[in-house]
Amino acid sequence: MDEIAAVYEEVFEDTDFIIREATMEAKRLLKQNQREVQRVWSQLDQVEAEIDSLMRLLRDKDIDPTAKKVISRQLGQRETERERLQGVVSALAEQANENTERLADVVRQALDEARESLSSAATNSELREFVERWVGPMVLQGDGTIAQKEPAADEVGAGVKGLVAGAGFEPATFGL
Q: What is the CATH number of the domain that holds 45?
A: 1.10.287
Identify which has the larger pLDDT, 151 or 34: 34
Q: Is 139 left (phi over 0), alpha (psi -120 to 50) or beta?
A: beta
Question: Minimal CA–CA distance to 82: which of 57, 50, 54, 55?
Answer: 50
Q: What's the domain range around 119?
A: 2-135
Mean pLDDT of 136-156: 69
> Given a cut of 80, is residue 138 above it in pLDDT?
no
Mean pLDDT of the residues in the chain? 77
> Given a cut of 90, is residue 82 above it in pLDDT?
yes
Q: How, if at all, do strands 146-148 and 138-140 pair?
A: antiparallel
Position 123 in a domain = yes
Position 55 in a domain = yes
Position 153 in a domain = no
Identify which has the larger pLDDT, 101 or 116: 116
At 151 the pLDDT is: 64
> Given a cut of 80, is residue 175 above it in pLDDT?
no
The pair phi, psi for residue 175, each rounded to 5°, is 85, 5
Mean pLDDT of 28-47: 89
Question: Minimal CA–CA distance to 8: which of 101, 103, 140, 138?
Answer: 138
How many distinct structural domains can be found in the chain? 1
Q: What is the pTM of this model?
A: 0.49
At 8 the pLDDT is: 66
Position 175 in a domain = no
Query: Quick check: 109 and 96 in contact, CB under 8 A?
Result: no
| 148-174 pLDDT per residue, tens | 777 665 554 444 444 333 333 333 443
Mean pLDDT of 9-19: 73
